[in-house]
Amino acid sequence: MSSERYVVMHRTRYRYAWPVTLSRQLLHLTPRKTPRQRTQAHRIDIDPPPVERESRSDYFGNAIEQLTIAQTHDTLEVFSHAIVDVGAAECPQTAVSPPWEHVRDRLRQVGTAPLLEPCQFVYTSPHVEPLMALARYARLDFHRGRPMLDATLALMRRIHRDFEFDPEATTVSTPLETLLREKRGVCQDLAHFMIGCLRSLGLPARYVSGYLLTEPPPGQPRLIGADASHAWVSVFCPGQGWLDVDPTNCVQPGKQHITLAWGRDFSDVTPMRGVILGGGEHTVDVSVTVLPEHEAGTAELLRKATQPLERE
């Protein structure tokens, strides 16, 4: 399988109004290994350095870092560097996928071993409530007897048409009912909304966090630090497994989508989350750069991002 290689740099900087005497942080910043993705190198730098640092997997199999920083500080910086190979996704056989009602009914059969894992992505989660209003929206595409994947792609296309990308319209706590009414938001919102639509029909859908290679305008250079984290949806279909769909861009994720982690919703895969003693008010700056290897090869940034990286 052919693949593309990317350099990914994700920097997060917290500035506190008052000194922080103790900080405990949980990081979801390690690219996930999947059938079409492999991490060639990865390192996370932390300043100030932690006195305790543990690497492990969470409930969903995502790699996480758990940190304890005991040094008094008024700035915390976390810089993740990665080199990742990403292959193309397989084209699903949408027309021959089972009718969506059959998938829903199979998931309701208690003890069906192969479907126990996707079953956990059918229920309510902190940011996704399967509302009746979402079911009514989804049923415009999920007609009786329609193949599940065919209906899923139709729903993705309609969300892309109906919603406007607006980074000022929402926060992470904006309810799905408000999103349905206003039809404005960012990739995180559209992912939560589509997951809510699918779950409201009894279908399993999970939230995927990652990065997306963006293209600069014609004739313009690629800007360093101008990219952002991205989010999309994965839906389960018996016989074909998990299918990724990106309602924000109306595409099936391929070589330009880099997967970090997945869970029930954003709360399971927050890139950086923690508790602190002290600090008071704070500001946070996040910058993300995704560079194809052939562009990064001549950049000073590549040298900084790859030496001395830990090799798998």
- Which residue range is the domain that position 153 belongs to? 94-253
Task: Please indicate, yes or no, whether residues 124 and 220 belong to a single structural domain of this protein.
Answer: yes
- Please report, for residues 59, 100, 181, 277, 295, the alpha-carbon distance to residue 247 in angstroms, rounded to integers and kept in the order given: 26, 19, 17, 39, 28
Q: Is 284 exposed, middle or buried (0-12, 13-18, 19+ CB in 10 A)?
A: exposed
Domain assignment of residue 264, yes or no: no
Q: How many domains does the chain have?
A: 2
Q: Are residues 169 and 228 in the same domain?
A: yes
For residue 298, pLDDT over 70 is answered with no
pLDDT greater than 70 at residue 312: no
With 50 as the cut, is the pLDDT of residue 308 above it? no
Confidence of residue 297 (pLDDT cuts 50, 70, 90): low
* Residue 279 covered by a domain: yes
pLDDT at 171: 85
Confidence of residue 198 (pLDDT cuts 50, 70, 90): very high
What CA–CA distance (Å, rounded) separates 282 from 17?
A: 6
C-beta separation of 140 from 158 below 8 A: yes
The answer as to whether 105 is a domain residue is yes
The reply to whether 101 and 246 lie within a common domain is yes
Residue 33 lies in a domain: yes
Report the pLDDT value the prediction gives residue 110, as an integer from 0 to 100: 61
pLDDT digits (tens, 9 = 90+) for 114-132: 677 899 999 999 999 989 9
Q: Let me know whether 247 and 111 are in one domain.
A: yes
pLDDT band at 282 (very low <50, low <70, confident <90, very high): very high
Confidence of residue 82 (pLDDT cuts 50, 70, 90): very high
Q: Buried b / exposed e across 166-201, counting CB within 10 Å, b at 16+?
A: eeebbeeebebeebbeebbbbbbbbbbbbbbbbbbb
In this structure, the answer to whether residues 245 and 294 fall within a common structural domain is no
In terms of domains, do 202 and 180 share one? yes
Digit-coded pLDDT (tens) for 146-182: 999 999 999 999 999 999 999 898 888 899 999 999 9
145 and 81 in one domain? Answer: no
CATH code, domain with 77: 2.60.40.2250
Average pLDDT rounded to a whole number, residues 273-289: 93
Query: Is residue 260 one of the residues assigned to a domain?
Result: no
> Does one domain contain both 68 and 102?
no
Q: Are residues 44 and 9 in the same domain?
A: yes
> Whole-model pTM?
0.91
Closest CA to 302 of 8, 3, 5, 4: 8
CATH of the domain at 172: 3.10.620.30
Q: Could you tell me if 79 and 103 lie in one domain? A: no
Q: Over pLDDT 70: what percentage of the chain?
A: 89
* Residue 100 neighbours by CB distance under 10 Å: 26
**Above pLDDT 90, what percent of the chain?**
73
Give residue-wise pLDDT tens across range 46-59. Answer: 999 999 999 999 99
- When pLDDT is cut at 50, 70 and 90, the band that residue 93 belongs to is confident
